[in-house]
Amino acid sequence: MIERDIFVKMESMNPGGTGKDRAAFAMISKAEEDGLLPKCGGGVVVEGTSGSTGIALAAICNTHGHECIIVMPDDQALEKQDLLRHLGAKVEVVKCAAISNPKHYVNVARQIAKDLSDRGKHAFFTNQFENGANFVAHYTTTGPEIWEQTGGKIDSFVMSSGTGGTISGVGVYLKSQDKNVKVILVDPPGSSLFNKVKYGVAYTSEQKEQGIRRHRYDTIAEGIGLDRVTHNFSLGLQHGAVDDAILISDQEAVEMAHWLIREEGFFVGSSSAMNIMGAVKSAMEMEKGSQIVTIICDSGQRHITRFWNKNFIELRGLSWPVECPSLDKYLRRCT
């Protein structure tokens, strides 16, 4: 094997199926505390999301008595839309666009919340990318849990970034306990965050207009990678909590996902596969005996129509593993 220990925190086992439950609960609770939503219910929670945060918000809105409106881009797995509707959320699907475009799903959600507020509704745009309660949720819960569960024996935390709340909140907490813990960003193709961490510039070649296939980045991974630095991610940078970054290709994520289901019995989604491949690759740069932690964000059950769809994968120019994927470069056995 790789002679290093890689631990995964199973955020996929939260009630809503992802670690987004933490941020969603924190953002709604803070909004109620600040009077932005009525504590007794009757408000309207609006968010633009690739799916997982919306699912968490929809579930929590049910228990808090609020209506939930979710705006999603049209390049996400259909099962996420179905699940949102089953949870009672109103779902609006929009075409992919750059964040500077008023039709970007986040901007559409913001406008919906404003329109509702103008009509006298208690509408709250959660704004997960810029809402500091997201960071706080992981600083006060996920980070301390990882520290306690590892007994403080952790050399590196390896994590991708969507909103930036998890890597920043966990990273800042872990470094407050031990400044030598290394925090490494995992970034997918087309995201500009890798260059931001490595070189201080949020740009990647895929952002050239003639090369854009989705919007401002291009990967099969859902919910991670961005063309901008969010407030939550910037909190990690400001505290010096993100030490390095590593790029993971879509093909590597596919192969890791198939290796995990065959070798470990883990059926994971795209971002989780990216996280684990990033953890393996970064572990090989560390001393033998090192302990690395990453996160399984959600199950592959939310990725059946895309990441776990052979036709979809091959149409993207990727190879569908028919045997145990060749990961010998990182793992010493593959049986």
DSSP per-residue codes, 236-278: HHHTT---EEEE--HHHHHHHHHHHHHHT---B-HHHHHHHHH
d(C-alpha 85, C-alpha 131), whole Å:
25
The Cα–Cα gap between 162 and 155 comes to 23
Type of residue at 44? V
Residue 149 has phi, psi (to 5 degrees) of -70, -25
Amino acid letter, residue 11: E
The one catalytic residue among 20, 30, 175, 281: 20
Q: What order do you get walking across the sheet with 182-187 strand by strand?
A: 5-10, 291-296, 156-160, 182-187, 244-247
Q: Is 20 a catalytic residue?
A: yes
Alpha-carbon distances of 98 from 1, 78, 168, 218, rounded to whole Å? 42, 21, 24, 12
Alpha carbon distance 160, 197 (integer Å): 12
Mind telling me the catalytic residues? 20
